[in-house]
Each structure stands twice: as structure tokens, then as C-alpha cells.
Structure 1
Amino acid sequence: MSAVPMMVLVSSLLAVEIAPWESLATLPIACIVMGTASGSIPAALLMRKLGRKRGGYLGFSFALLCCLAGYFAATRGSFVLLVLAGFSMGIASAFGQQFRFAALESVGDPAKYGPALSVFMGGGLVSAFLGPEIGVWGQNLVASGHNFAGSFLLQSGVVLLAAVLFSLFREPEMKEQKLVQATGSLGKIVASPAFLVAAFAATLSYVMMSFVMTATPLTMREVCGFSLSDTKQVIQGHIVAMYLPSLLSGWLMNRVGQGRLMLVGSVAYAGVLVIGLFGQELVHFWGALILLGIGWNFLFACGTALLPAAYEPHERFKAQAANDFTVFGFQAVASLSAGWFLFNFGWTTLLLFCAPLVLAAFALSVVQIKREKGTSQMSL
């Protein structure tokens, strides 16, 4: 997890120096998301063929490729290599996203999905500090024509350590059904209400978060003139806010239901717009990015926990692939357009453009609340 926040902080700042046009400064970050989107289906299929563990090691290999390409991008001033680094990190992230489904499979009981996700996503708290700190520690570690070459070297060491820790993972045994051909098609799965609510909750969470977060470092550094330290701390605070609620979100799902927790996430996203539109001082960026992280956590965690209800165990890989392709495909569009939107229309218009996303999140929350009421009445 630490590699992505490191790339978010470092790649856009490095890209400003070496990109042919400043509007392309967020392209490496967008390529992370595009790599995740394009790699989601192959990652799921390869994990089905190779297993979670061997597939996981393949993902770590792409993370190391990212670090290697990023190092040479910084030392040679190559924007193409920086874009390649972002895309490689995205593919690695596509494999990493499959780990959350492995966590759900490890517990088996749907009642434990929320707590399992809380533990899993809680790892992001470490990445919130570690990733940006790696970017700053390595900024001038290696003498080169541009900064941050050492950041990629340090990150490669963290990736290798993660691969060693992953060797302790033991794949859970899944009860596969033999008559797969007799089951519903993928089209029937993705058209089901359970899949649509789960996928769109996760999609809205990522589109809104990525669109605003991708533009934040550039707005703070290039538009408002804040220091690298201030920018780093805001990004760190945002990532902490993304994962700290995981300590409670699993319990809250069981306590109030996914629909109401999604509604809280929608309110947090509305708060992002209110605070962000109120001004562009440091406190406004802090407040908006913290609420952005909280909203993402509740909406994404609920979407992930709701997804297994849409498929049978033997259908999990194709359903998970379709879900992640939807989520990260739309996120790729948001990331890719963030830099262009910011430099052409400004921070205020960018936030106003997010208003329909917030309204959609509210509407989806209401739909899920009604679904949960209907289910409870049927059980009675």
C-alpha cells in the first residue's frame, strides 16, 4: 500500500519538471489507475489459474518494475519512463486489490466481512506515513539531474520486505462447485441489484476521491505556493483518514447496516465540497482531504462487503474482475482528467463538478437502506 501514496506525492512533482506540458503532470498518477483498471481482469484470471499466492508474487514483480523505471526516470529526466512506472504500479495494484477478496475468503462467514475488511484496510495507516516519508527521505538521496531517484530505491526495499512477509500467507480452501456451466452468466451477475449497488458504491468512492486527491498536490504547490512539507502532511492526513475509520467501519456495518454507513460517507463527501469551496488556505485543504478520506472509506468498504452477495463462490473471480474493472476504469478517467481540468478551469470549478457525484452517492445510499429494510421484513 505504501507505494501508491509515495507515487502520488512524488510522480506529479517530478512530472512538473520533466513533462513536456504542465497539463500532463498528473498523467503518471492517471497511469496508476489505468494500469489498475486494465490489469484488474488479467489479475483475477491469473489468480484463478495460479492461486492467490503465486499471483501475489507476480504483482510484487510489477511493483519492483515500477521502482526501477521510476529511478531511471528521475536520473535521466525521462517522462516516458515515469509514465511506465505509474502504469507498472497500477498493474501491481490490480493484483494487490485481489488481496481484499482473499481476506473475505479467509473468514468465510458474511457476518465477519466487515471486521475482516477493517483489519485489512487498517494496514493503510502504516502506508499513510511510510509512503510519503519515503518520497521525502529519498528526495536527495541519489545525486541526479532531478530529485526523487532515491525515493524509488527506498520503495523497492519496502516492496521486497512486503514480498517476504507475504510468504507467510496460506490460501484458504474454497468449496468449488463442479457444474459451473449450469450457473448464471456474467451478464446476469452484473445486472443483479446486489452487484450494481456494490460496484457503484465502490466506483463513486474512488472517482470522487481520485479526482480531488490527484489535483491537490498540484493545487497546493503550483497554484497556492505551499511547501513540499505542507503538501506531504496534507496527503498523509488524507491517507490516514482513508484508513483510520477502518477501526470502526466493520463494527458499524454490523451495527447500523451498510446503507446507513454509505449515507455517512456521502455526507462526508458533501463536506469536502463545502470546506473546499470556502477557501484555499492550508486549513481548507486539511479539512477537505480528511473528509475525502472518511467518505472513501465508508463507501468503498461497504461496496466491497456487499459484493459477495452477488455471486456464488465458484463465480467469484469473474465477478470480482468485472467489479474492479468498473471501479478502476472510471477512476482512471477521473485521474487522467484531473490535471487538465485543474489547469483549464481551476480548483473551485473542479469541486463544483463533483456535486453530481455526491448526489449520486446519496441516492445509492437510500437505495441500499431500502434494500436492507426489505430484507429484514422478509426475514421476519
Structure 2
Amino acid sequence: MKKKHLNLIILFICQGLNGSIISLLTLTSTLVGNKLSPIAYLSTLPITATVCGAALMVYYASRLMEIYGRKISFIIGNIIGIIGSVLACISIVYQSFTLFILGAFVLGSSTVFNQYYRFASAEIFDDEVNKKRSISIIIGGGVFGGISGPFLAMKGEYIFPDYHFLGTFLLTAIICVIIIIIQSFFYLPMELKKEIIGKHIKSSYKNEELVNLLKSKLFFLATSSCAIGFSLMTLLMNATPLAMLHANFDVEDSALVLQWHFFAMYAPALILPFFVDKLRTTNIILFGSLFFIIGMIIAIFIDGFHSFLFSLFFIGLGWAFMFNGGTFLLNEFVSSKFKHKLQGINSLVVYLSNMISSLSVGIVMSHPRGWGILNIIGVILIFIYTIVFFIKSKNLSGDK
């Protein structure tokens, strides 16, 4: 087997396994928080801590990759994940809400490395079409994580009957160990030779060049698409377990809804490789906006289990198209000497917007009509964004 294809398979598997941790945290963090929290509206603080940990780590993860390469950085990320899992386990045994928040924060720091699999996949091949196909395939690996994460969360909930979800976080530690073993077979040549690393770090970039790239229409469209799509998805996805709990649905119902949501998030990426040479990237992003609007309108006007199911399904599709499309646009900078900084800043913006969304969930969901309010806010935001994006993208050059 060619080394390029082996690398792609390894990234695909690791994306799926890391994705299972993310989806597992989405389902369990709020439920454990609801059990341990002394105040009801603080129940989403653990999932917010996860996003905060990711937001603080995301740029440093990019710098680690710039200095030490992808492989070592991915392994470091999973070592952090093991530490976070152990802290979460200890917090459940001792019923410590504060310690659980710390564990969620550390786990969030580890999950952010998952964002860089898509960038690593773009470096495997040289031609533009295969780069886009690789990105889609790797993002698509998350479909297995989206399905397996809630499943593992349910199976781990009662492994230790006296400590609900202790087994779940023990499983996250095991997953991190498995990922480290698999990643030991991954190889991409270092972009920087060791003898020039020290010089590179000490020297400053030409800020005027970097600033021009950051101000460019291409970077704005790429980053805004990823950030808006991700933050809206986070807002509604993190609210779902609480909204369904308030509507008297059990954990199994929430898990099923989230499994279909994650399937919708990642499955389109497995289909997009066959159409990347036929669809304009800007149209992919606009399709994502449309799916978001459909999903949120369903949540506003329809009640019951199927409302949650179809709403989260379309919201997942919206994320898939907006996030893939934004990544395709950002990949235009892959040959730039500033690519690591641009990728880091892109991811930082994404996670800062996620953090704001996540912080909003607990406050809004403490209101009896919180679920409806979140969806109304979402429709307004995505409608405004779609208009701005359409105007800004009209004069974008090439087939973007």
C-alpha cells in the first residue's frame, strides 16, 4: 500500500475515534453537570469548559505542529486526553463538580487537535482535487465517531452502578491510548528542518504580509463560514440533551437524536469527494445555510421527538456543508509560508465563537421556552450571514 494512502487511512480512523470522544462529551458532560451542579443553570458549565479548553489550546496546537510536525503533536493531544479522562473519573467518584469542570476543560484541550486532521490530509497529495477529496474523506470519518460516541456513553453509564458515567470516561482514556498506537504509524515529512527551527522561531514574520492575508476576502469567507456554522451547531447541539430532558425524554432518546445529528454532520463529507470538481465551494456553503434554516424552522414550529430528530439532522447537514466549504476555501493558503498561523487563527476564531455559544446555552435554557428562543436567534443570525456571504462572494475569483 502506498504511504500516502496509508496516511489517509490512519487519519480517517483517528478522526473517527477522536470524534467519538467529542460526541460522547456532548451527550454526557451536560448530564453529569446536571447531576453534580449545585445550581441548575450551571449544568452546561462542563461542556462550556470543554469549549474553553479547546479555544485556549487551538492556536498552541498549531504552533506545536509548526515546530514538531503533525505526528508528535497528535500524540501530545491524546496524552492530554488521557489526563482529562482520569480527572473526570476522579471527579465522579468524589462527586466534585469543580474537578469535573477541570477534567472537561483538559479534555477540551485534547479534542482541538482533531481539527488539524483535515489540514494534515491536505498535505498528503499535491493536486487540488485530491486535496479537497482528502479533506472531505477525513471530515467524513467523524460519522463513525458520531454514532459510536453516544453508544459508548450509554454503555459506560452503568459499568459502575454506584458511579454513573464513570465507565464512560474510563472508555475515553482507552480510546486515547488506542489512537496513540495507531498514530505511531503515521508519517508526514517535517515542513521545517531542525537546523533552521531555532532561527525560524526567533525571527518575526513580515507582519504586513500576514495582515494582508488576514484581511483578504478569501480568509474572511473561509473563517466566517467555519465559525458561524460551528457556533450555531454548538449552540443547538449542546442545548439538545437539556431540551429533551425538560420535555421528559430519557438518555436513550437523546442519544438516538445525537447519533443521527452526527451522522448528518459527517456523512456528506463522504459524498462530497465525488462532486468537488463540479460544485462551486461558495454554493456548498450557501446550501449549508439553507439546511440550517430548515432545521431551526422545524424546531420552532413542530413539537415532539421527531421535531428534535429532524431538526438536529438538518442542522448537522448545515454544519457539514458550511464547515467543509470553509475548509476548502482556507486550503487555498496551503502553499503559503503562513499556513500554520492562518490555520491556527481560523481555528481560534471558530472556538472563540463556540465558547460564546456554549456559554449562552445554560442561561437561555434556564428559561421555560429556551429551546424555541435559541432557534429563533439562530434563524435571524444565519439569515443575516447568508446575505452578507452572498454579497461578499459574488466577485470571488476562479471556481471557488
- Which segment drifts farther, 311-320 or 267-276? 311-320
Which residue of structure 2 aligns with residue 168 of structure 1? 185
Give the 3 Å change call, closer, same or farther, for CA 310–361 of structure 1 in structure 2.
farther
1:79/1:247 CA distance change after superposition, 3 Å = same
Look up the match of 1:226: 249
TM-score (norm 1): 0.93
How do 1:14-29 and structure 2 match up within 5 A? 14-29=32-47
CA offsets, 1:247-287, max 9 Å, x none? 12233332121111111111100101210011230000000
Per the alignment, in what secondary structure is the counterpart of residue 68 of structure 1?
helix
The alpha carbon displacement at 1:368 in A equals 6.1
1:159: how far off?
A: 1.4
Structure 2: runs of 5+ lacking an equivalent: 1-18
Query: What is residue 150 of structure 2 aligned with on the other side?
Result: 132
Q: Which residue of 1 aligns with 2:316?
A: 293
| Cα distance in structure 2, aligned partners of 1:119 and 1:311 | 18
CA distance in 1, matches of 2:271, 2:216: 29
Shift of 1:182: 5.4
User: Given residue 106 of structure 2, which amino acid in structure 1 is its aligned partner?
Assistant: S
Query: Counterparts in 2 of 1:335-374, with a 5 A limit?
Result: 335-344=358-367, 345-367=369-391, 369-372=393-396, 374=397
Partner of 1:266: 289
In 1, the alpha carbon distance for the partners of 2:235 and 2:38 equals: 22
Distance 1:246 1:311 in 2: 20
Q: In the alignment, is the contact (CA less than 8 A) between 2:296 and 2:315 conserved in 1? A: no
The range that moved more, 76-85 or 196-205, is 76-85
Q: Residue type of the partner of 1:240? A: F
RMSD: 2.1
Which of these residues, 146, 150, 157, is aligned with residue 167 of structure 2?
150
Contact 1:27 1:83 in 2 (8 A): yes
Aligned partners of 2:392 and 2:320: how far apart in 1?
Answer: 17
1:112 matched to 2:126 = no
State whether residues 113 and 250 of structure 1, in contact with CA within 8 Å, keep that contact through their aligned partners in structure 2. Answer: no
1:330 paired to 2:347 = no
CA distance in 1, matches of 2:372, 2:399: 43
Alpha-carbon contact 1:32-1:87 (below 8 Å) kept: yes
Q: TM (normalized to structure 2)? A: 0.88
Structure 1 residues 62-211: aligned runs within 5 Å = 62-144=80-162, 146-172=163-189, 174=191, 181=205, 184-211=208-235
* Equivalent residue letter for 1:25: S
Runs (5+) with no aligned partner, structure 1: none
How is 1:242-321 mapped onto 2 (pairs within 5 angstroms)?
A: 242-310=265-333, 312-321=335-344
Q: Deviations over 1:280-335 (max 9, x none)?
A: 30000000000010000000011111113246432111111111110110111101
Instruction: Check the 8 A contact 1:64/1:159 in 2, yes or no.
Output: yes
Question: Which stretch has the larger CA shift, 179-188 or 277-286?
Answer: 179-188
Whole-Å Cα distance in 2 between the matches of residues 360 and 75 of structure 1?
46
Question: Which one-letter code corresponds to 2:150 in the other structure?
Answer: P
The SS at the match of 1:226 is coil
> Equivalents in 1 of 2:167, 2:67: separation in Å?
36
Whether the 8 Å CA contact 2:124–2:131 is kept in 1: the answer is no
